Amino acid sequence: MTTATTTVRPGRVSQLRVLNSEWIKLRTLRSTFWSLFAAIVATIGLGMLFSWGFATRVGDHARPIHDAATMAVTVPLRPYVIAQLAVGVLGVMVITGEYSTGMIRATLSAVPRRLPVLWAKAAVFSVVVLVLMEIVSFATFFGGEAILSSQHIQATLSSPQALRIVTGVGLYLTVVGLLGTALGAIIRSTAGAIAALFGILLVLPVLGEVLNLTSWGKHITPYLPSNAGGDLLTNAPDPGSLGPWTGFGVFVLYTVIAMAVAAYLLKRRDA
């Protein structure tokens, strides 16, 4: 009576099947929906607000802005700084949500080789965030520039560096989320991993400003993760910065290192 009326044919665990499993997991949690919703609303909503504020400021002819054309490219997209909070938290929770609930033991019993789980989580998360945030970034750019056109300072995708910056928003946010996933797998606690992630992204740059006051510190600050990653999203780089793709490459490298540590620990530690 007990078990199989449906014939259950033994199927090998494969990376593709684990990807499918992780896709089911990601789309069946409300927290996924709400974090992404927050990221979208923050980017588009604040993007429009910043653009409107900037347009108003430019309209004040008593106080002219000399580099308004340069700023017009980046102003609508500045809210990426806020969106990274939502995307980063989601990246962390993709893995710590399993540790806090005990789900991880079910997951690792089903995939005892373990590493396919980490790769699948990272891949599914990356594709979802990248596709979504690229769309949001382009939408925000076009919406924001439409508002700026009232002052005839709007940029287009063919403006200098514009295409790189608009595309860069989705790339940067995806890597922020992946760094969150790696930290989540290393620290295994939601609160701890979120603190670590935003410590790295938001607190380190502040310390960097202090470092900048020393002669040797100046050579370190460009390599801080968010400074390096942020190089991709600016058309007015700080002196000494690494340049858009080199900087972003350094940011990706940090994330790859964190992911490698996460993989090593996931494989070695008791679940």
Partner 1 sequence: MIEAKGLTKRYGDKTAVNDLSFTVKPGVVTGFLGPNGAGKSTTMRMILGLDRPTSGSVTVNGRPYADHAAPLHEVGALLEAKAIHTGRTAYNHLLALAATTGIPQSRVDEVIDLVGLRDVARKRAGGFSLGMGQRLGIASALLGDPKTLILDEPVNGLDPEGILWIRNLLKDLAAEGRAVFVSSHLMSEMALTAEHLIVIGRGKLIADTSVAEFIERASTGRVKVRSPQAARLRDLLVGPDVTVADTEEGTLLISGLTSDQIGQTASDNGVTLFELAPQQASLEEAFMELTGESVEYRAPARTAERSAA
Q: Which residues bind partner 1 (CB under 8 A)?
A: 1-6, 8-13, 17-18, 20-22, 24-25, 28-31, 97-98, 101-113, 268, 270-271
In the complex with partner 1, the residue whose CB is nearer, 78 or 121, is 121
Report the nearest approach of partner 1 to the CB of residue 117 (Å): 9
Asked if residue 89 lies in contact with residue 194, where contact means CB atoms within 8 angstroms, the answer is: yes
Rounded Cα gap, residues 57 and 81, in angstroms: 21
Asked if residue 193 lies in contact with residue 92, where contact means CB atoms within 8 angstroms, the answer is: yes
In the complex with partner 1, the residue whose CB is nearer, 60 or 270, is 270
Burial annotation 204-231 (CB, 10 A radius, 16+ → b, else e): bbeebeebeeeeeeeeebbebbbbbbbb
In the complex with partner 1, the residue whose CB is nearer, 12 or 66, is 12
Report the nearest approach of partner 1 to the CB of residue 28 (Å): 4
Report the nearest approach of partner 1 to the CB of residue 237 (Å): 42
Rg (CA), the chain: 21
Report the nearest approach of partner 1 to the CB of residue 26 (Å): 9
In the complex with partner 1, the residue whose CB is nearer, 163 or 271, is 271
For residue 137, the number of C-alpha atoms closer than 13 Å in the C-beta half-sphere is 28
